[in-house]
Amino acid sequence: MSFLIFGHRGYSSEYPENTTLAFRKAMEAGADGVELDIRASRDGKVVVIHDEDTLRVAGIPGKVAELDYADIRKAKVQNGLSIPLLDEVFESFPDDGFLNVEIKSPDAVAPLVKLMKTYEPSFQIVFSSFLFEPLEELRNALPEVKIGLLIGEGLVKYVSVSHTSVNTTSFEALLAGYLPYSLHLPMQLFNRLPVEGTVRFLQKVKASNIRLFWWTIDDIPVTEFLRDRSIIDGVITNQVGRMVRAYK
């Protein structure tokens, strides 16, 4: 069974995260695509950054939503690299690649819609988020976009568990309501839910043509666990080289 390898924030184990360098190096190393994060600047630019503040990545404090992009651009990350805009990533991304764009803040949707209406990328894109309402807003504006539901701690709202079984009725209703292209799942899922019941449910989800992308997985035995059970369509990894050597 083949699956897609996405570089988590690019090739982030070797290069500064969420930079055009990290994205390029991930693709050069053999990744099928990259995962990145977006927020909106004060002047309505779609900025590629994970945190709401520039302090961790650039050493200079400042909330992205309270800064114009010209000021964010001055805050250099490691190796003097700039925090890029999403359209910069679009311009240099290979035609046969696959972008997973995670929406980190609801205010990013309006400028993202504006960008997507002026840009027609030749590569594939899925827009994911832990925030489901912004995904719905995005698809209302752009009906053809692929959306992916990011699943984390909020899973407990949709799944109830007994000793050996998993009641997924609410989760199935969630999927029917949003009709996502993909689910983006943490491996820690199996620390909280019965393994076999969860596997059976995910096999059912996958059979309904919803892709299963797993984050953030750096180890081959973990990947093999998912492959053996046929519940993986993609892995989001910091260790691009390790995954490529094992599966390409």
Q: Are strands 211-215 and 234-237 parallel, antiparallel or unpaired?
A: parallel
Of 99, 135, 96, 125, nearest to 18 by C-alpha is 99
184 catalytic? Reply is no
Query: Reduced to 3 states, what is the DSSP secondary structure of residue 90?
Result: helix
Residue pair 231/223 in contact by the 8 Å Cβ criterion: no
Residue pair 215/184 in contact by the 8 Å Cβ criterion: yes
Options 50, 63, 76, 139, the catalytic residue = 50
Distance CA 187, CA 225 (A): 10
Query: Reduced to 3 states, what is the DSSP secondary structure of residue 140?
Result: helix
Options 3, 6, 7, 8, the catalytic residue = 8
Residue pair 234/3 in contact by the 8 Å Cβ criterion: yes
Distance CA 245, CA 248 (A): 6
Burial of 20 (0-12, 13-18, 19+ CB in 10 A): buried
Distance CA 164, CA 52 (A): 40
50 catalytic? Reply is yes
Largest CA distance in the chain: 54
Per-residue DSSP letter, 80: G
In this structure, what are the phi and psi dihedrals at residue 109, rounded to the nearest 5 degrees? -65, -50
Residues acting as catalytic residues: 8, 50
